[in-house]
Amino acid sequence: MPVSIEVNGERHVLDVPRARRLLAVLREDLALTGAKHGCGEGACGACAVLLDGRAVVSCLLPVGAAEGRSVTTIEGLAREGRSLLEAFVAEDALQCGFCTPGQVVSATALLASVPRPTRDEIRVAMAGNLCRCGAYPKIERAILRASGQEGRA
Ligand code: FES
Ligand code: FES
């Protein structure tokens, strides 16, 4: 039975196994390669996307679990609003950039629920997003900047 999901505002009816991972569907079936395949085990956050506004790791999520729900990837976020992306650039909050889509997705979910997070709240919310390059202080500053707390950055 086909799976119907909305991705970045567009409805897709997909003839794929329901157990197929959402990350594979996004990258291989829908050519949305922004979400990255890092660990593949739910431990790094590189594959994070928003599911009905909540950040989830798409490498573990069966696409059937997203049936009838709304998925937003980094491509959708790039279309919707640029302030967070611009803050990442302004703070030089990346080196290789592999983790960046997941970082931006998780930061988006954080700012939607906590518009002016403290440093501690940022650290807790972003704990599932690993950065092998160690850009954590700059990522934190980018989130503070995007939340209008530049002076604390
Ligand atoms: S690739 Fe999904 S959490 Fe690492
Ligand atoms: S910028 Fe390289 S892994 Fe984060």
Q: Is residue 48 within 8 Å of 35, Cβ to Cβ? A: yes
The backbone region for 14, taken as left when phi is positive above 0, alpha when psi lies in -120 to 50, beta otherwise, is: beta
11 and 50 inside one domain:
yes
72 and 85 inside one domain:
no
39 and 90 inside one domain:
no
Q: What is the pLDDT of residue 63?
A: 98
Average pLDDT value for the chain = 96
43 and 101 inside one domain:
no
Residue 117 has pLDDT above 70, yes or no: yes
The structural domain count of the chain equals 2
55 and 86 inside one domain:
no
Please report the atom of ligand 1 found closest to the CA of residue 128.
Answer: 3
Q: How far is the CA of 102 from the centre of ligand 2 (A)?
A: 10
Nearest ligand to the CA of 135 is: 2
59-76 burial: b if 16+ Cβ within 10 Å, else e: bebebeebeeebbbbbbb
Candidate from 36, 100, 139 with most ligand 2 atoms within 8 A of CB, to mutate: 100
Residue 153 has pLDDT above 60, yes or no: no
pTM: 0.96
CA separation for the pair 121, 113 (Å, rounded)? 11
Please report the atom of ligand 2 found closest to the CA of residue 97.
Answer: 1
Candidate from 37, 96, 138, 139 with most ligand 2 atoms within 8 A of CB, to mutate: 96
Over its C-alpha atoms, the chain yields an Rg (Å, rounded) of: 15
